[in-house]
Structure 1
Amino acid sequence: MRALVRGRDERAQRLVEMGAEIAVGDLTDRRTLVPALTGVDTVYFTYPIAAGVVPAAAHYASAVLEAGTSPRTVVMSMGPAHRDHPSRLGQAQWLAEQVLEWAGLDLLILRVAALFHENVPVLHADTVRRDGTMRNSFGRGPVPWISGRDAAEIAVAAILHPERFAGPVVYPGGTEMLSHDQIAGLLTEVLGHPVLYEPVSAQQWRRELEDTAAARPGEVVNAAMAQHISSVAQVVAGGGPAMAADPATIAGWIGRQPVGLREFLRDNAASFR
Structure 2
Amino acid sequence: MTTNGTTLVIGATGTTGSRTAAQLTAAGHRVKAASRRATPVADAEPVTFDWYDPATHAAALAGADRVYLIPPLGDSNPAATMLPFLRQARTAGVHRAVLLSSSAIPEGGPAVGTVHQALPDLVEQWAVLRPSWFMQNFTGTHAHAHGIRDEGIIWTATENGRVGFVDAEDIAAVAVRALTDEQAPNTDLVLTGPEALGHDDIATIITEVTGQSVVHRRLSYEQMRDRLTAEVPAEFAAMLAGMDRAIAEGAEDRVTDTVQRLTGRPPSTFRALVERETRCSS
TM category (shorter chain) comes to 0.7 to 0.9
Identify the residue that residue 82 of structure 2 maps to in structure 1: 57
- Give the Cα separation in 2 of the matches to 1:2 and 1:60: 19
Alignment CA distance shift 1:35-1:138 (3 Å): same
How does 1:32-71 map onto structure 2 within 5 Å? Answer: 32-51=56-75, 53-67=78-92, 69-71=93-95
CA contact (8 A) 1:27 1:59 kept: no
2:269 maps to which of 252, 260, 268: 260
* Distance of 2:278 and 2:215 partners within structure 1: 16
After TM superposition, give the deviation of residue 142 of structure 1 in Å: 2.0
Q: Percent identity?
A: 24
* Runs of at least 4 residues off by over 6 Å: none
**Which residue pairs with 1:237 in the alignment?**
248
Q: Cα deviation per residue 1:132-153 (whole Å; 9 max; x = unaligned)? A: 3322111113211101111111
Distance in 2, matches of 1:130 and 1:75, equals 33
Match for 2:105 among 81, 87, 92? 81
Return the letter of the residue paired with 1:264: L
Task: Determine helix, strand or coil for the equivalent of 1:22.
Answer: strand
Distance (whole Å) between structure 2 residues aligned to residue 194 and residue 235 of structure 1? 27
Give the secondary-structure state (helix, strand or coil) at the position aligned to 1:39: coil
For 1:227, the aligned partner's letter is: A
Question: Does the 8 Å contact 2:178/2:185 carry over to 1?
Answer: no
Deviation of 1:201 after TM superposition, in Å, equals 0.6
CA distance in 2, matches of 1:104, 1:255: 27
Q: Matched residues in 2 for 1:156 and 1:258: separation?
A: 15
Contact 1:70 1:106 in 2 (8 A): no
SS at match of 2:74: coil
| CA distance in structure 2 between the partners assigned to 1:198 and 1:103 by the alignment | 43
Partner of 2:207: 188
Q: How does 1:2-151 map to 2 (within 5 A)?
A: 2-8=31-37, 11-12=39-40, 14-15=41-42, 18=43, 20-51=44-75, 53-67=78-92, 69-82=93-106, 91-103=110-122, 105-112=124-131, 114-121=132-139, 122-151=142-171
TM-score by length of 2: 0.75
Asked if the contact 1:4–1:25 (Cα under 8 Å) also holds between the matched residues in 2, the reply is no
Q: 3-state SS of the aligned residue for 1:171? A: strand
Structure 2 gap segments, 5+ residues each: 1-29
CA drift of 1:185 comes to 0.9
Letter in structure 2 aligned against 1:200: L
Please state how far the C-alpha of 1:231 moved relative to its aligned partner: 1.2
- Deviation, structure 1 residue 4: 4.7
**2:203 match: secondary structure:** helix
1:57 Cα shift?
A: 1.4
Q: Which has the higher helix share?
A: 1
Q: Distance in 2 between matches of 1:258 and 1:269?
A: 19
Q: 1:170 aligns with which of 189, 200, 203?
A: 189
| Cα separation, partners in 2 of 1:255 and 1:84, compared to 1, 3 Å | closer
Relative to structure 1, is the Cα distance of residues 174 and 129 closer, same or farther in structure 2, using a 3 angstrom cutoff? closer
Aligned mates of 1:250, 1:186 — CA distance in 2? 22
Structure 1 unmatched runs, 5+: 86-90, 214-220
Q: Deviations over 1:103-157 (max 9, x none)?
A: 3553221222x11111224233343345433221111132111011111111011
- Give the conservation status (yes or no) of the 8 Å contact 2:162–2:250: no
Q: 2:175 matched to 1:155?
A: yes
Rounded Cα–Cα distance in structure 2 between residues aligned with 1:190 and 1:74: 35
* Partner SS for 2:164: strand
